[in-house]
Amino acid sequence: MLRYAILRIFGAIPTLLLVIALAFLMVHAAPGGPFDAERMLSPEVEANIARAYHLDESLPQQFVRYVRGLLRGDLGPSYVYLDRNVSEVISRALPVSMQLGVLAMLLAIVVGIAAGLTAALSKNSFIDRFVTGIAMTGISVPVFVVAPVMVLVFAVYLNWFPASWTGGGGVSRLILPVVVLALPQIAYIARLTRASMIGVLSSDYVRTARAQGLRTSSIIRYHALKPAMLPLVSYMGPAIAGILTGSVVVEQVFGIPGLGQFFVTGALNRDYTLVLGIVILYAALVIGLNLIVDLLYGILDPRIGGR
Amino acid sequence: MNRSLSFARCFSRQRLLFPACIAICLSACGGADEQRESLLNRGLGDEPGSLDNHKARTIQAGDVQRDIGEGLTGYAADGKLEMAAAERVEVSEDGLQYTFWLRPDGRWSNGDRLTAADFVFSFRRLVNPDTAAFYAQQSFGDVVNATEIISGDKPVDELGVAAPGELQLEITLEYPVPYFLALLTHPSTFPVHRSSIELHGDAHARPGNLVSNGAYKLQAWEVGSYIEVVRNEQYRNNAGTAIDRVRHHVTPEDATELNRYRAGELDVTFSVPSEAFAQMKRERPDELRVSPYLAVYFYGFNLSKAPFKDNPKLRQALSMAVDRETLTENITGRGELPAYSWVPPGIVGYEPRKFLYANLSKEERHAKARELYREAGYGEDNPLITTIHYNTAGSHRRIALAVQSMWKEVLGVEATLINEEGQVLLERIRMQNETEVFRLAWTGDYADAHTFLSIMESDNPSNTLFGFKNAEYDSLMNRAALQTDPARRQVWLEEAERHLLSQHPVIPLYFFVNKSMVSPRVRGWGDNVLNYHYSQHLSLSETD
């Protein structure tokens, strides 16, 4: 398995390079530049700025300069946060997004699996319909609706939690954003778990176990739970990468200095290096988490483990 | 405390998850030691980007820079120009030589004396090509040799600034600039601390490194979250500063910002969302502050090609067909003023000229517009087919829809709306190949009509957006520039505006207003056209 993991990691390098090259081309292909504004600069000032930030070089030259920097671990200077470099912006924003993302994912896993299992075990009952209905609502109602409503109810009217990241210290400021981030994930996980568990429970070996007189709780615990988790594990890889790199809506609504916000404003402001830095991070996370998912598959499913 | 306990308890059954939760929760704790006394929480709008006086380029950066820095001149709470780091100035009769005497008690935040040599160093850094300062040309382009230095043709020490005495500073201009003292309120002309720059280089404007000369000093900067400034004990007028600490919160979304204000987390907002404006006016009329702002919202024409090139009659017809009162009352709805001139009202000593048709009734305007439309070669059988480009933000779409329908109703114009991202729109306007009619806005940098009128001069870099080339207009602006007598200068500027309006290169739609929620506990808030609100002019009526 170690050999497999190492091969996969080396195999990911060309993918990552391709992502960097494509992202570099795409951000530079977008019309406008990082220093364009309604107030036009005089040609002399424009030339000085282009020279200072190497924007006067050809695109291949800029690409080579960027990749050289990357090899030294330097993601380059930000074109908007001029007093800082991209590594610094990301290293401050990533822990914030991760903190929220990890908590939201933990909440989503616990509540989502519990709800999904409950629904699957009482298939077609009132509880099942209730859970499925709530899950559908959770998926359908967008975050940009849920988040402001929650702020209005719990922060403005009830005053239970701060309305923003800087409005209060400690755990209280985490609760609303974590719950908002977790809600759609809970819904997805509950639906996935329910469908998968119903499938497993109707399989032949579970029927055989039942025929042998095993108790339902034992069947679920020792025979059904692990295989039922397989689709969930596949889903978790990209979902975790997505949630760790921040959600722009949640971050804007709660004023959280996370990665999602920097990614979107970076793209709008043509902050080439910042956008590239976050794309590289996101790509690396997706590649890394997919690898972990594949390794977990081997552990969860004995049919794959041998390969 | 109870909340955090119950939060932990809810996870306690998940034995594996619990340690992870605790670790993450602990790392989130730590901001609870906030003192509410003398702390002002202000909404800042977008993240300012940089606080280096020579690299900052946003309105938001300026709001923070005016707290932590100070130029030779500044503004009082009511927007009147006043002396700041300098206590007096003498201007030579020809208007070319400015001699400033700095205040003897001027100090940097680290205790160093603020001297004329600091200003000379700062101005040289501003125009140095290696600094690549955005505002080099705009703020200092009129100073002797500045343009040549910016383009690298002369060394920086040939800039027309000198320090004949420790507190005496001389600035020599190429030609008279009557608004030069107003230009010196711009943060790009604030001094920078030489030894900090030599020590920290590009990182000199960060917390811990930044040495500044304003009423506050930079304490903390969480990018994307807030900037905190604290009282600068070394400031010359520290006794006059009432608030000890100010937090400028990054609030890119105005709806979110309003929620934070309503939850008591902000004392002042940067803006008020249009959706909630009527509600705030009804529920909190005393907290809603609305006043004229030095900015104009307009539709520009692509003057480089047909149908608008050399066709002032068509442009005038379209301008006359727009019902500005409907736009400001029913669409923007936040107290904006219908625009019949190019220069917004509110500039002391300047009376904006108006379109000649401004006094006509709606029916008369429409009749005249139809006549001009026909004279320009269009009519019912041959309608103008054009496009309106606007960017994806705010109420631009609703305004474009209204203008589209007004043009259709009055003239029969077939206009297609094209929605684009901001930078894409700017690029298209600049390239002048695809746009026909486009939305833009212009904000004044200083309280002088020149900040609006100069951009229509043929050689102004921003004229790329308009493509307006008019020899008579340039000549009128030149005449105004040569006047040293302010009253005569205003006459020429007003004449230039009158000529500009007669050519209809743009359709001014409305003048912006400042709109903020200001908590009743904040005192000293003065409305002014530049929307500058120095924290040192404010105080809090209570401590809680």
Give B261-287 pLDDT, tens digit per residue. Answer: 998 999 999 999 988 999 999 999 999
Q: How far away is chain B from the Cα of A283, in angstroms, using its nearest Cα?
A: 23
Return the HEC string of B294-349. Answer: EEEEEEEECCCCCCCCCCHHHHHHHHHHCCHHHHHHHHHCCCCEECCCCCCCCCCC
Q: Are B344 and B295 in contact (CB under 8 A)?
A: yes
Q: Which of A138-147, B328-337, B417-426, B516-525 has the highest mean pLDDT?
A: B516-525
CA distance A254 to chain B (A): 7
Burial class of residue A87 in the structure, from the number of CB atoms within 10 Å of its CB (0-12 exposed, 13-18 middle, 19+ buried):
middle
Residue B37, Cβ density class (10 Å: 0-12 exposed, 13-18 middle, ≥19 buried): exposed
pLDDT confidence of residue B99: 97
Give the A window 152-171 contacts with B, CB below 8 Å.
Answer: 152, 155-156, 159, 162-171
Asked if B510 contacts B522 with a C-beta cutoff of 8 angstroms, the reply is no
Q: What is the pLDDT of residues A54-75, one digit of tens each?
A: 889 999 999 999 999 998 988 8
pLDDT of residue A307: 45
Using the Cβ of A149 and the Cβ atoms of chain B, whether some distance falls under 8 Å is answered with: no
Pairing of strands B161-162, B539-540: unpaired
Name B522's Cβ contacts closer than 8 Å, sequence gap at least 6: B40, B267, B268, B538, B539, B540, B541
* Residue A33, pLDDT score: 84
| Non-local CB neighbours of B262 within 8 Å, separated by 6+ positions | A156, A163
Q: Chain A partners of B151 at a C-beta cutoff of 8 Å?
A: 44, 47
Please give, rounded to a whole number of angstroms, the shortest distance from the CA of A55 to a CA of chain B: 12
Which pLDDT score, from 0 to 100, does residue A302 have?
66
Mean local confidence (pLDDT), B351-355? 91
What is the pLDDT of chain B when averaged over all its residues? 88
pLDDT at B65: 96
Residue B232: Cβ-neighbour burial (10 angstroms; 0-12, 13-18, 19+) = buried
Superfamily of domain A92-258: MetI-like (1.10.3720.10)
Least CB-CB distance to B260: which of A44, A89, A255?
A255
> pLDDT tens-digit profile of B495-536?
999 999 999 999 999 999 999 999 999 999 988 888 899 999
pLDDT of res. B24: 40
The torsion angle over the Cα atoms of residues B48, B50, B56 and B57, rounded to 10 degrees, is -40
* Percent share of chain B, pLDDT over 90: 68
Rounded distance between C-alpha atoms, residue A249 and residue A268, angstroms:
15
Q: State the DSSP code for B232.
A: -
Query: Which of B132, B147, B249 lies closest to A255 in CB terms?
Result: B249
Residue of chain A whose alpha carbon sits nearest to that of B33 = A169
Confidence of residue A304 (pLDDT cuts 50, 70, 90): low
Q: Are B368 and B360 in contact (CB under 8 A)?
A: yes
Residues of B in contact with A29 (CB under 8 A): none
Query: Where does the pLDDT of residue B4 fall: very low under 50, low under 70, confident under 90, or very high at 90 and above?
Result: very low
Q: Report the chain B residue with the minimal C-alpha distance to residue A269.
A: B423
Q: For B223-233, what is the mean pLDDT?
A: 93
Average pLDDT, integer, range A97-125: 88
pLDDT tops 70 at residue B114: yes
Give tens-digit pLDDT for A148-186.
888 889 988 888 888 888 877 778 888 899 999 988 888
* Amino acid residing at B107: R
- Give the whole-angstrom CA distance, residue A152 versus residue B262: 9
Residue type, A220: I
Query: CB distance B461–A41 less than 8 Å?
Result: yes
Residues in A touching B276 (Cβ below 8 Å): none
Is the CB of residue B247 less than 8 Å from the CB of residue B227? Answer: yes
pLDDT above 60: residue A197? yes
- Other C-beta atoms closer than 10 Å to the C-beta of A72 total 7
Pairwise CA distance, residues B328 & B353, whole Å: 20
pLDDT at position B30 is: 39
Q: Which of A242-246, B33-37, B290-294, B369-373 has the lowest mean pLDDT?
A: B33-37
Going by C-alpha positions, the residue among B87, B83, B40 that lies closest to residue B63 is B40
CB B150 within 8 A of CB B127: yes
Unique residue bearing structure tokens 């005497």 = B101
Contact B252 A151 (CB under 8 A): no
Select the more confidently predicted residue: A269 or B321: B321
Asked whether residue B14 carries a pLDDT value surpassing 60, the answer given is no
B248: DSSP letter: E
Question: What does the DSSP assignment read for B47-103?
Answer: ------TTT--SHHHHHHHHHH---SEEE-TTS-EEE-SEEEEEE-TTS-EEEEEE-
Contact predicate B183/B446, CB 8 Å? yes
- DSSP 3-state assignment of B29? coil
Residue contact A40–B461, C-beta within 8 A? yes
Q: Which of A30-34, A87-91, B173-177 has the lowest mean pLDDT?
A: A30-34
pLDDT value, residue B23: 39
Number of inter-chain CB pairs under 8 A, A vs B? 206
Shortest alpha-carbon distance between residue A204 and chain B (Å):
32
Q: State in Å, rounded, how far the first CA of chain A is from the last one.
A: 9
The proportion of chain A whose per-residue pLDDT surpasses 90, expressed as a percent, equals 15
Give φ, ψ of A89 to 5 degrees.
-60, -45
Task: Report chain A's mean pLDDT, rounded to a whole number.
Answer: 85
DSSP state, residue A269: T
Q: In whole angstroms, what is the distance from residue B153 CA to residue B389 CA?
A: 40
What is the C-alpha to C-alpha distance for residues A250 and B293, in angstroms, rounded to an integer?
32
| pTM for this predicted structure | 0.84
For residue A35, the model assigns a pLDDT of 85
| Neighboring chain A residues of B21 at a CB cutoff of 8 Å | 103, 106
pLDDT band per the 50, 70, 90 thresholds, residue B540: very high
**ipTM score of complex:** 0.83
- Residue B542: pLDDT band (50, 70, 90) is low
State the pLDDT confidence band at B3, using cuts at 50, 70 and 90.
Answer: very low
pLDDT range class, residue B544, cuts 50, 70, 90: very low
Q: At B63, is the pLDDT very low, low, confident or very high (cuts 50, 70, 90)?
A: very high
Q: What is residue B421's predicted lDDT score, i.e. its pLDDT?
A: 85
Q: Which of B79, B58, B70 is nearest to B122 (CA)?
A: B70
Give the pLDDT confidence of A203-251 residue by residue, as tens digits.
888 888 888 888 888 888 878 888 888 888 888 877 887 787 767 888 8
By the CB < 8 Å criterion, does A133 face chain B?
no
Question: What are the C-alpha distances in Å from B384 to residues A121, A267, B336, B407, B461?
Answer: 68, 36, 30, 10, 30
Contacts of B109 (CB under 8 A, 6+ apart): B210, B211, B212, B213, B217, B232, B234, B235
> Rounded distance, CA B173 to CA A134, Å?
71
Do the Cβ atoms of B137 and A42 come within 8 Å? yes
Q: Is the pLDDT of residue B11 over 60?
A: no
What single letter denotes the amino acid at residue A105?
A: M
CA distance B2 to B529: 48
> Chain B partners of A110 at a C-beta cutoff of 8 Å?
11, 14, 17
The per-residue pLDDT for A264 is 87
User: Does the pLDDT at position B306 exceed 60?
Assistant: yes
CB count within 10 Å of CB B89 equals: 17
Own/partner long-range contacts of B478-484 (Cβ < 8 Å, ≥24 apart): B480/B450, B481/B175, B481/B176, B482/B175, B482/B176, B483/B176, B483/B178, B484/B93, B484/B94, B484/B95, B484/B176, B484/B178
Q: Identify the pLDDT of residue B169.
A: 96
Pairing of strands B161-162, B97-102: unpaired
Q: Strands of chain A (E only): list them.
A: none
Within the 61-120 window of chain A, which residues sit less than 8 Å (CB to CB) from chain B?
Answer: 80-84, 89, 92-93, 95, 99, 102-103, 106, 110
User: Nearest CA to B422 among A41, A259, A263, A31?
Assistant: A31
Cis status of the peptide bond prior to B307, with omega within 30 of 0: yes
Res B543 pLDDT > 70: no
Contact residues on chain B for A106, CB-CB shorter than 8 A: 11, 14, 17, 20-21
> In whole angstroms, how far apart are CA B366 and each of B227, B339, B412, B521?
51, 17, 12, 49
Give the model confidence (pLDDT) of B185-218 as tens digits.
Answer: 999 999 999 999 999 988 899 999 999 999 999 9
DSSP B107-169: B-TTSPBP-HHHHHHHHHHHH-TTT--TTHHHHHTTBTTHHHHHTTSS-GGGSSEE-SSSSEE
- Under DSSP, is residue B228 helix (H, G, I), strand (E, B) or coil? strand
Q: How confident is the model at residue A8 (pLDDT cuts 50, 70, 90)?
A: confident
Cα separation, A230 vs B435, in Å, equals 53
